[in-house]
Structure 1
């Protein structure tokens, strides 16, 4: 601990003021004591950790009462090294609690010197003026670290949220580019071909006779193809829009939105059978809107992964209440995978595109403070569980 502007003494200053051979300033997180400052300096000081409530220093941190020891011999080997104690030797010690705000004990001042000069009441009185300012300094540093930790966590979550949003936008852009625009381009080609055929028929000299049946059929076939492509483009546009936002979720709630999601994903005879299991006794009305939206997106991503990649025969999507938590599950009997490898590697496609499936789910869980568990064995399917405390 530094002395700052000269108002807060460090370990070296305290050793001189208390006529001690050495001083250790311990910081407490409520569970363990770690060295915040030490004099004489020792390279292994950062490795020392003493449990609160055990040993002399730990008891002072627990009960807030100072202790004087004429001859002490700590059992912790590293602690003895920091005190400069040789085997079978003892040391005189003075341990005082360092109070922070609201009388919370945030650390311990521990001074030591030769047993030939034990500490007494005069030493306690000399050290007392420094304990309050040292405690406030330690508490302020702890609060500052907590603020920085929360700020870092907030920044991380914001970054993850932006990444998830960008991944969603990229997915929709790919869907529109590969589906809708391709269908519209093909439709334009067929309409142009039909227009050319009709124009040729209209420009023909009437003396050449009426158009043949084959010529009419050619024009009609081009128009039929264009109409089919228009329907395809319409369906793909609706799918892209529903992927961007669920009106069912807004109007009818999470269960209805998941039912719609299952119906949409189950289209086609080649895909797996998909079941939705919702606990009929579960009360789901108290799920906040933002959490319901996140759970819907997680279910959407998990179901898409199962349908597209698992090669499963059956997928079960579930929603139930367990105590004060909502549990969303997605289980399939497909190929399975190694979760550790999948979490640590985001495989890139040949064109540089990224797969954001599991990472997107993990980021959404972090945003709503839900826990994520993925159980999978190659060849034996995958189970994904998301637990949201309410």
Structure 2
């Protein structure tokens, strides 16, 4: 049995001396929140790195969704995917917006535009698609539907950090795209998130909303809430951003090591051909739920803890019933497992995980990645 726990992901903690230097600065200034210098610096650096404008840092990814809905005046019903983390749906419910589910493409795992159009009613005001596992939705089709019916579009890009579509940032699509900077993500600020708005005026409105509607020492101009990122979060983000190239390249090595052993064994997500890979997750699809559960148990016995992202399908949640069954999402959710992936996962651990899976398929012997495969995947990166 493996003596250490291997979780689905591991938080990357950057160089301690560099982070301490930022903390020393905070102790000097005592400016720890309310749009401090680190938040402003991180905003500018992220806009440059991601190739976007109108980026607003917030306290977490769920608040990013809620602020985006409020800024854009979304009410009534919003069409969204049943195959996502629960926050995509719960943020709508929390904001008094009814989620209406449209089933997913069984290959890409992203919402199917054909099903979006079928789900539109007179109460529909928005579409909330998800770039699942960093895989781009069919953005042109979705944007065309939104334009045809006069709907707002808020993309959940929690997994899409650094993803480009046809050479441009994927985050530019829709009226807004949100990101999550939770500690489990590729890029993180411990907790945190961001919204990228298409329009400058929406950014300015959202700035007021995240600070209680205050626009000056003695002036409150609108309803608001507290959703600001603090300086400690921003300091962590600045340190992680300094190391993001190495993080992505090492995750690429892990991703391609898995692929070299499993590509002909389990079904993989069909990725949009116009995007790069940010290597945020490694999802595999098994033939049956029973097979998944058996393999998961064997991995757990070796102190390996993958996650059933995303399970259950959100259309099955008790507090949303009654719902039309989203058959494809329910099927995929029952058979999908995200394997452990982080920048520093040991090759021997990867092979142990793969051999556990391969044993279920009655492969004989221990499989090792051949030398040519290793030479290939170590050279691949986000930027190639």
Q: TM-score, normalised by structure 2?
A: 0.19
Q: Which of the pair is proportionally richer in strand?
A: 1
Q: Which of the pair is proportionally richer in helix?
A: 1
Q: TM-score, normalised by structure 1?
A: 0.19
For CA contacts below 8 A with separation 6 or more, give which structure has more relative contact order: 2
